[in-house]
């Protein structure tokens, strides 16, 4: 294949990952002129172009060297590695990207009294992920039938073509709507930056390194939150233990109230409502969670 002097990144043409992937690349300083057929986007500033394809094609395009990198769900990447055969060449997950989060789970009809994986022995499980499901079944020593479907997996039990399913779950709403219950999580997934195991040794390798550095900066800021709250001396320890990961919090005195503090903590990730409620229960008041715009350590 002719060596390329521009980096080519494969991403989903239209779907859940499209908008967040484009936004992430924009934040890394990359912008694209969209061509009319919308398959190929020419990079305007940096020598980085996009190929817009179905997400399932992305690992193969990287393995064949058609693209240097790809933005794709971990579920698709791992399934490809389990099913594509050895000649495909190993791929790496270069960075987790923090969007497109979901899990690959087994779900059974709600009325089934499910207690343990062994109960799946002898059943038929419908899935679009035969590689990942097969691996999990082997690890658990379960012999079950794997019914591979391209889509609409969740209706298979009602149609009588399967007893259980193994599918992607985000909120669980689709499962409930189909009278199914999530019982086992096989994989926690999110969008990842995928690439070959070895960086190319030409200028593209240098470009990839530069992109990775920018990406790390963008991800770090995007996931950081500043948590502010008020606490009294007595509840300080309990609250500190509940704080999400990050550097040591800062304590500021509250004027006129010697027993009160304003606590300020930089958190490495999202702070959920549940975490906030727990911290409040431990005695915190006046809580704020603020996004971080820029950060320079």
Q: Which residues bind Zn ion (CB under 5 A)?
A: 55-56
Helix/strand number for the chain, H first, E second: 9, 16
Residue 55 touches ligand ATP, criterion: CB under 6 A: yes
Reference 192, options 62, 42, 36, 85; nearest CA is 62
What residues from 82 to 101 belong to the interface with ligand ATP (CB under 6 A)? 100
Instruction: Find the Cα–Cα–Cα–Cα dihedral 53, 95, 105, 79, rounded to 10°.
Output: 50
Cβ atoms 105, 185 nearer than 8 A = yes
175 vs 218, beta carbon nearer ligand ATP: 175
How far lies 133's CA from each of 92, 108, 110, in Å?
20, 14, 20
Instruction: Return the one option of Zn ion, ligand ATP, none that residue 219 interacts with (CB less than 5 to 8 A, by type).
Output: none
Helix ranges (H only) for the chain are 18-27, 58-63, 74-83, 130-139, 156-159, 173-177, 203-223, 236-242, 273-281
20 vs 244, beta carbon nearer ligand ATP: 20
Closest-by-Cβ residue to ligand ATP is 73
Cβ atoms 31, 43 nearer than 8 A = yes
61 vs 279, beta carbon nearer ligand ATP: 61
Reference 255, options 230, 238, 237, 287; nearest CA is 230
Residue in 7, 71, 76, 211 binding ligand ATP, rule: CB under 6 A: 76
What residues from 2 to 41 belong to the interface with ligand ATP (CB under 6 A)? 12, 15-17
54 vs 233, beta carbon nearer ligand ATP: 54
φ/ψ (deg, to 5) at 174: -65, -40
Counting residues that bind ligand ATP (by CB under 6 A) gives 15
What residues from 258 to 287 belong to the interface with ligand ATP (CB under 6 A)? none
Residue 56 touches ligand ATP, criterion: CB under 6 A: yes
Cβ atoms 62, 10 nearer than 8 A = yes
Instruction: Return the one option of Zn ion, ligand ATP, none that residue 168 interacts with (CB less than 5 to 8 A, by type).
Output: ligand ATP
Reading the block at residue 56, the tokens are 């399932």
Instruction: Return the one option of Zn ion, ligand ATP, none that residue 12 interacts with (CB less than 5 to 8 A, by type).
Output: ligand ATP
Shortest spacing between CB 17 and ligand ATP, in angstroms? 5
Contact set with ligand ATP (CB under 6 A): 12, 15-17, 54-56, 73, 75-76, 100, 102, 168, 170, 189
């Amino acid at each position: 294949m002719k060596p390329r002097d521009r980096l080519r990144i494969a991403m989903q043409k239209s779907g859940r990952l499209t908008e967040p992937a484009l936004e992430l690349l924009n934040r890394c300083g990359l912008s694209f002129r969209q061509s009319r057929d919308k398959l190929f986007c020419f990079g305007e500033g940096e020598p980085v172009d996009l190929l817009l394809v179905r997400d399932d094609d992305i690992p193969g395009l990287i393995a064949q060297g058609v693209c240097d990198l790809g933005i794709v769900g971990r579920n698709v990447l791992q399934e490809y590695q389990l099913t594509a055969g050895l000649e495909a060449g190993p791929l790496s997950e270069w960075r987790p990207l923090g969007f497109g989060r979901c899990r690959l789970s087994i779900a059974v009809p709600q009325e089934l009294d499910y207690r343990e994986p062994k109960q799946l022995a002898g059943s038929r499980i419908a899935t679009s992920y035969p590689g990942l499901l097969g691996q999990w079944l082997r690890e658990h020593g379960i012999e079950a039938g794997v019914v591979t479907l391209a889509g609409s997996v969740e209706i298979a039990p009602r149609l009588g073509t399967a007893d259980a399913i193994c599918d992607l779950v985000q909120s669980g709403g689709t499962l409930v709507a189909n009278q199914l219950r999530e019982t086992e999580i096989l994989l926690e997934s999110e969008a990842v930056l995928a690439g070959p195991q070895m960086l190319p040794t030409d200028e593209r390798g240098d470009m990839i390194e530069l992109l990775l550095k920018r990406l790390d900066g963008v991800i770090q800021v995007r996931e950081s939150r500043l948590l502010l709250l008020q606490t009294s001396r007595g509840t300080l320890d309990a609250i500190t233990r509940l704080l999400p990961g990050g550097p040591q919090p800062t304590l500021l005195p509250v004027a006129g109230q010697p027993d009160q503090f304003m606590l300020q903590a930089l958190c490495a990730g999202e702070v959920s409502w549940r975490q906030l409620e727990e911290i409040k229960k431990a005695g915190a008041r006046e809580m704020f969670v603020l996004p971080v715009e820029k950060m320079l350590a």
